[in-house]
């Protein structure tokens, strides 16, 4: 028997609601954000999201049931990734909608970064100009595996845990621009603080790799095998 118009519409909206239910938990949104940086093991995601492995696995199973993430077994580990590029685009759209509708997000970000950064972040257009003129060095302070999955063109991998030991690798006489996972990632603010304490001019780029690509700028590039 053919479905009635009402049955058809109910079926469609029920499937749409599956996505909404899957992303209704804050930690599941954070996991999607982390997976936007590149595939990760359950253990790595648990550490980054400050969750137990068991809770992380449960959240990932919900996302997987909604076809938002996929997983493969690699040796002893289960590696998760976003199911499609559209999932990353969905997350960015959801984040933008929340930013537009809830002033609390902007207030919280300004309050945090005014204390931990102190300067307005550099704009993407200004950064592009300074890179073209050879006036700035861009550093990626995310974990090395995220850098290998994709990074801003010309960026140097300088993970925050290795930061102080590797500062001598930075070119002299240039402003340093640090970025991490996006506008609410705090690692770049910490890197900027450390640089300024050593007399190195530094600013933070709010955009992460996913944001950079979404704005139709030059695609982030994957690092060759065997490099950091």
- C-alpha distances (whole Å) from 47 to each of 4, 50, 52, 127, 179 are 48, 5, 8, 32, 20
Catalytic residue selected from 63, 66, 178, 180: 180
How do strand 77-82 and strand 40-41 relate by DSSP bridges? antiparallel
Taking alpha carbons only, the member of 62, 42, 39 closest to residue 52 is 42
Q: What are phi and psi of 81, to 5 degrees?
A: -150, 165
Whether residue 185 lies in the annotated active site: no
Asked if residues 124 and 207 have their Cβ atoms less than 8 Å apart, the reply is yes
What SS3 class is residue 166?
helix
- C-alpha distances (whole Å) from 132 to each of 127, 218, 220 are 8, 13, 16
- C-alpha distances (whole Å) from 1 to each of 4, 7, 25, 44 are 9, 12, 38, 49
Measured distance CA(220)–CA(223) in Å, rounded: 10
Write out the catalytic residue numbers. Answer: 180
């Amino acid at each position: 028997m053919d479905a009635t118009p009402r049955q058809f519409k109910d079926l469609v909206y029920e499937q749409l609601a599956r996505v909404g239910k899957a992303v209704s938990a804050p930690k599941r949104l954070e996991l999607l954000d982390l997976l936007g940086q590149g595939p990760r093991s359950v253990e790595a995601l648990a550490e980054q999201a400050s969750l137990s492995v068991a809770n992380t696995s449960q959240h990932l199973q919900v996302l997987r049931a909604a076809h938002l993430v996929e997983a493969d077994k690699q040796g002893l580990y289960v590696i998760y990734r976003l199911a499609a590029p559209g999932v990353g685009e969905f997350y960015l759209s959801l984040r933008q909608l929340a930013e537009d509708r809830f002033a609390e997000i902007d207030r919280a970000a300004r309050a945090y970064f005014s204390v931990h950064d102190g300067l307005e972040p550099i704009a993407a257009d200004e950064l592009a100009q300074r890179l073209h003129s050879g006036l700035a060095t861009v550093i990626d302070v995310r974990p090395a595996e995220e850098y290998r999955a994709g990074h801003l063109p010309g960026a140097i991998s300088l993970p925050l845990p290795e930061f102080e030991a590797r500062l001598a690798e930075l070119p002299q006489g240039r402003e340093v621009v640090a970025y991490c996972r996006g506008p609410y990632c705090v690692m770049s603010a910490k890197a900027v603080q450390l640089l300024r304490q050593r007399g190195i001019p530094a600013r933070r780029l709010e955009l992460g790799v996913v944001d950079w690509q979404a704005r139709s700028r030059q695609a982030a590039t994957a690092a060759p095998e065997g490099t950091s």
